[in-house]
């Protein structure tokens, strides 16, 4: 019985709902009839399509957010995490990094670097430099070369394949441009209809036109916003692709970031100052991406408008009228192009001068304390003024050029072209007297708006020429950046000596073919490096400063030869500039080995300590374990207690009391993201302090003294526990007592170390001495009785006192011997 009542109530509810819908439909039909609105008209349909598509996009977006959130909650639980998965996902063959976003971490996937891809791309740049020389060329060829460069960047970096996400964005942008032009045609017709109804005093039709106008406004605004969104999205994608491409090359294990300073191009066109590479990889990439993405809009929109409006106007004013308009546009446009300044050259010069001004101000910030000590304010101020005046002079030249060109451009584009529009749009009315007044007005309004739209499209197309010139200039800089990165990334990089900058073209299996084809190749890199050697051996090695002269460059040392085995420590002494640090650069393969044989341990068994104590932006823990992360430290079986022990070993245990813990970061505003992971069946909190940069007011260089920084580097040596340690002036800021303690500790831990220093007191801790006297004079010898070793400073002082006390006895004995030798026998 109850079930029957429920069924009857449901049926009643459905019938009531049906009646309500019917009444609303009748009411709407009554309103539509009153206003003479057709529900199937284009304005109504476009409005409904816009509303439905917007709702669908919002629904899909929120649904994806829910799915991602659920996936993260289910599959990315801390208990299931592993240290390795935070950095490398084997299933997707990509790297994962944590990015801070709204007080939480977002996992961003970055594709692995594909060395085969970059080797293939390198061939493209080689071919380009070979086929497109730097000789004098005409302006037309310059433009074609710009298109070639742009095509190379496009094909290799921006859209490397047809089915690429950026291709979808470009296609969507093109469809939006076509839809926008079509909407403009509809609005133009509606505008003429509204004016005609107003003049004809048709109130209902006029009101209907206003309603249609408001309905058109929504899809038009929707399309305009969509075009802007797609343009910004495309620019961001271009920038992302370029930055990742450049960074993969720049931060490659082949140390491109270091070798860039030695890369020299024989072609002036592709020369690049590595001091300004920060500007190339930040501002220039940003400008290039934005300019290129906007160029599709700045050129595509007026081009589509011209085509559509010309086709539509052809039916109104005839083919002769359209031909006359296009001829006027062509001749005036050619005249403007002929008198246009070289915006490409102006932009490139301005960018170069801005880079000089920026870097010099950065130099003042980095060396403000030293400048203050020397009271160099006046001379630095004069330099800044000179640099700024050069930039100001160029800005003045640019403004004047734009002013004179702007006068001509404004006159032609803003006034001459609309005048042509009024003339040609009025011709059909003047020549056709049979049209009624309202039809003539409508025809004139429609033709006038289309002509003005054509004039506006043509003017925007002419304005884009300046943008095209700027794009040409920034394309040259981006292409130069990529070319130099590939040259330095070359497996056989020749440090400036090469054909078109690529040193691999100098590598031949036959020495005869090398000398015949490329005589300069005799000055190339011909040394041999042997790794996995149980010690260190130099055989007939010249120490030469890398340059475009190759082996004929500045020679610091000639045919250096010595050998030590594992467990034997070496001290290198010599005056400043003799080449001590250069030996370290040869061992680490930062400098090329032009000749001779270098035998050394495996790179994984050597730890280098440079002359400058490098402390990067991170926590106190990060300074000790650099270049590892906390997760990698835990994977190796180390704990914070081990790090605290290393600090105590070098006499820096008090830093824990000063800063509180190993998690201390100099910048209080720096981002310290934490995550709990299971490591060795134990839950550990991981601090990622490498993401935040803080306010930059404090850093480790300002918080620690010179001696403390050097001790912290020694703690880093103890943490890594490499078999071989090469130290360049490691203790010149540390007191003698702590210096002895540090070297005693390193000997006790059985490190094999090679020390570069000025302090002869360190001889006692080494087994061999390499004394550098001049370029052709050095002395390698074993530390024996003549170079006594002592356990500590006190014993050495006692030895010297005993030697001084016996000095008088030695002098008396010398006199006796001289007397005996000079006297006669009895």
Residue 32 lies in a domain: yes
Distance CA 431, CA 321 (A): 13
Residue 706 lies in a domain: no
Q: Are residues 479 and 561 in the same domain?
A: no
Q: What is the pLDDT of residue 54?
A: 67
Q: What is the pLDDT of residue 733?
A: 84
Q: Are 329 and 457 in contact (CB under 8 A)?
A: no
DSSP line for 495-556 = TT-SBTTBGGGG--S-HHHHHHH-GGGGGS---EEE-S-SEEEEEEEEEE--STTGGGS-EE
CA max distance for the chain: 158
HSE (CB half, 13 Å, CA atoms) of 270? 29
| Strand, coil or helix: 76 | coil
Long-range contacts of 231-237 (CB under 8 A, 24+ apart): 231/173, 231/293, 231/294, 231/296, 231/297, 232/293, 233/169, 234/166, 234/169, 234/170, 234/173, 234/293, 234/296, 235/289, 235/290, 235/292, 235/293, 235/294, 236/289, 237/165, 237/166, 237/169
Structural tokens at position 417: 């072209």
Q: Are residues 70 and 122 in the same domain?
A: no
Q: Are residues 726 and 605 in the same domain?
A: yes
Q: What is the pLDDT of residue 1?
A: 45
Query: How many residues are listed for the chain in this entry?
Result: 826
* Burial classification of residue 824, based on how many CB atoms lie within 10 Å of its CB (0-12 exposed, 13-18 middle, 19 or more buried): exposed
Q: What is the pLDDT of residue 672?
A: 54
Mean pLDDT by 10 residues, the chain (826 residues): 45 47 47 57 68 70 71 52 42 57 62 76 86 52 73 91 86 83 74 70 74 77 84 91 91 88 78 83 90 82 72 64 68 70 75 80 75 76 84 84 74 68 61 53 63 67 72 88 90 74 53 44 78 92 87 88 92 88 92 92 92 86 88 85 92 90 73 61 67 61 88 94 92 84 89 90 89 84 66 62 68 70 52
Query: Tell me, what CATH number does 589's domain have?
Result: 3.40.50.300
| Strand, coil or helix: 259 | helix
Q: What is the pLDDT of residue 316?
A: 60
Residue 112 lies in a domain: no
Distance CA 807, CA 814 (A): 11
Q: What is the pLDDT of residue 399?
A: 83
Q: Are residues 240 and 129 in the same domain?
A: yes
Q: Are 279 and 355 in contact (CB under 8 A)?
A: yes
> HEC states along 413-448?
HHHHHHHHHHHHHHHHHHHCCCCCHHHHHHHHHHHH
Torsion angle, CA of 659/663/664/669, rounded to 10 degrees? -150
Residue 648 lies in a domain: no
Q: Are residues 65 and 130 in the same domain?
A: no
Q: Are residues 204 and 307 in the same domain?
A: yes
| Strand, coil or helix: 38 | coil
- The domain containing residue 377 runs over which residues? 118-489
Residue 746 lies in a domain: yes
Residue 191 lies in a domain: yes
Q: Are residues 248 and 320 in the same domain?
A: yes
Residue 451 lies in a domain: yes
Query: Tell me, what CATH number does 462's domain have?
Result: 1.20.1560.10
* 115 alpha-carbon distance from chain centroid: 18
What is the number of domains present in the chain? 3
Q: At what angle do helices 115-131 and 437-489 cross, to 10 degrees?
A: 100
Output the CA–CA distances (angstroms, integers) from residue 489 to 268, 338, 442, 516, in the order listed.
20, 42, 66, 26
Q: Which of 489, 523, 557 is the last residue of a domain?
A: 489
Q: Are residues 537 and 479 in the same domain?
A: no
Q: Which of 463, 489, 515 is the last residue of a domain?
A: 489
- Summarize the chain as % helix, strand, coil (round to 5): 65, 10, 25
Q: Are residues 266 and 321 in the same domain?
A: yes
Q: Which of 789, 804, 821 is the last residue of a domain?
A: 789
- Distance in Å from the first CA to the final CA of the chain: 158
Structural tokens at position 175: 């469809």
Q: Are residues 406 and 542 in the same domain?
A: no
Residue 704 lies in a domain: no
Q: Are residues 74 and 125 in the same domain?
A: no
Q: Are residues 143 and 52 in the same domain?
A: no
Q: In what order do the strands lie in the sheet with 768-774?
A: 606-609, 724-728, 752-756, 570-574, 768-774, 777-782
């Amino acid at each position: 019985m109850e079930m029957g009542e429920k069924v009857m109530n449901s049926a009643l509810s459905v019938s009531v709902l049906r009646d309500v819908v019917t009444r609303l439909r009748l009411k709407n039909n009554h309103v539509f009839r009153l206003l003479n609105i057709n529900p199937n008209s284009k304005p109504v349909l476009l409005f409904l399509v816009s509303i439905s598509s917007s709702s669908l996009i919002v629904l899909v977006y929120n649904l994806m957010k829910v799915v991602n959130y659920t996936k993260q909650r289910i599959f990315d639980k801390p208990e299931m995490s592993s240290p390795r998965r935070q950095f490398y996902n084997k299933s997707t063959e990509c790297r994962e990094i944590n990015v801070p976003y709204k007080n939480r971490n977002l996992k961003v996937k970055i594709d692995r670097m594909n060395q085969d891809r970059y080797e293939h791309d390198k061939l493209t740049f080689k071919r380009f430099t070979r086929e497109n020389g730097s000789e004098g060329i005409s302006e037309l060829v310059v433009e074609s070369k710009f298109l070639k460069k742009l095509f190379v960047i496009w094909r290799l970096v921006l859209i490397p394949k047809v089915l690429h996400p950026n291709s979808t964005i470009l296609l969507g942008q093109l469809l939006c441009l076509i839809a926008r032009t079509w909407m403009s045609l509809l609005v133009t017709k509606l505008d003429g209809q509204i004016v005609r109804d107003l003049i004809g005093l048709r109130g209902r039709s006029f009101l209907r036109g206003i309603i249609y106008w408001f309905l058109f406004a929504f899809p038009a605004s929707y399309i305009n916003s969509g075009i802007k969104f797609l343009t910004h999205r495309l620019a961001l994608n271009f920038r992302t692709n370029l930055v990742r491409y450049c960074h993969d090359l720049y931060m490659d294990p082949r140390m491109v970031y270091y070798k860039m300073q030695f890369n020299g191009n024989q072609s002036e066109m592709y020369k690049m100052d590595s001091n300004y590479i920060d500007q190339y990889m930040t501002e220039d990439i940003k400008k290039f991406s934005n300019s290129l993405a906007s160029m599709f809009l700045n050129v595509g929109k007026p081009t589509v408008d011209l085509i559509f409006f010309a086709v539509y106007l052809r039916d109104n004013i005839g083919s002769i009228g359209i031909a006359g308009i296009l001829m006027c546009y062509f001749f005036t446009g050619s005249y403007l192009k002929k008198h246009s300044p070289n915006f490409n050259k102006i932009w490139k010069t301005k960018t170069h001068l801005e880079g000089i001004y920026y870097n010099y101000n950065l130099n003042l910030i980095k060396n403000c304390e030293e400048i203050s000590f020397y009271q160099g304010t006046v001379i630095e101020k004069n330099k800044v003024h000179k640099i700024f005046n050069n930039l100001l002079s160029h800005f003045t030249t640019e403004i004047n050029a734009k002013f004179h060109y702007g006068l001509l451009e404004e006159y032609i584009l803003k006034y001459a072209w609309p005048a042509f529009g009024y003339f040609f749009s009025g011709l059909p009315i003047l020549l056709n007297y049979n049209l009624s007044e309202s039809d003539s007005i409508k025809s004139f309004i429609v033709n006038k708006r289309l002509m003005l739209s054509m004039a506006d499209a043509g003017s925007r197309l002419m304005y884009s020429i300046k943008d095209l010139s700027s794009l040409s200039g920034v394309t040259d800089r981006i292409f130069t950046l990529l070319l130099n990165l590939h040259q330095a990334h070359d497996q056989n990089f020749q440090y400036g000596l090469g054909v078109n900058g690529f040193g691999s073209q100098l590598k031949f299996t036959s020495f005869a073919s090398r000398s015949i084809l490329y005589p300069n190749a005799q000055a190339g890199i011909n040394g041999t490096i042997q790794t996995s050697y149980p010690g260190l051996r130099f055989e007939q090695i010249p120490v030469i400063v890398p340059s475009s002269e190759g082996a004929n460059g500045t020679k610091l040392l000639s045919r250096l030869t010595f050998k030590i085995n594992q467990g034997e420590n070496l001290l290198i002494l010599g005056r400043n500039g003799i080449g001590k640090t250069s030996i370290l650069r040869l061992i680490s393969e930062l400098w090329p080995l032009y000749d001779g044989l270098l035998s050394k341990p495996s790179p994984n068994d050597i730890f280098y300590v440079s002359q400058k104590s490098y402390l990067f932006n991170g926590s106190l823990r990060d300074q000790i374990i650099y270049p590892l992360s906390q997760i990698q430290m835990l994977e190796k079986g180390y704990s914070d207690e081990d790090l605290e022990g290393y600090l105590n070993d070098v006499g820096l245990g008090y830093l824990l009391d000063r800063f509180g813990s190993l998690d201390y970061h100099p910048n209080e505003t720096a981002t310290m993201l934490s995550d709990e992971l299971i490591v060795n069946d134990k839950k550990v909190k991981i601090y990622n302090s490498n993401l935040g940069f803080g306010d930059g007011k404090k850093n480790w260089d300002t918080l620690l003294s010179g001696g403390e920084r050097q001790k912290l580097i020694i703690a880093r040596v103890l943490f890594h526990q490499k078999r071989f340690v090469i130290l360049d002036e490691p203790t010149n800021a540390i007191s003698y007592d702590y210096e002895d303690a540090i070297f005693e500790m390193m000997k006790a831990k059985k490190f094999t170390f090679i020390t570069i220093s000025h302090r002869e007191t360190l001889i006692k801790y080494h087994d061999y001495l390499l004394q550098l006297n001049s370029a052709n004079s050095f002395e390698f010898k074993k530390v024996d009785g003549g170079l006594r070793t002592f356990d500590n400073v006190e014993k050495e002082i006692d030895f010297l006192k005993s030697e001084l006390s016996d000095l008088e006895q030695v002098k008396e004995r010398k006199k006796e011997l001289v007397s005996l030798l000079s006297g006669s026998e009895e």
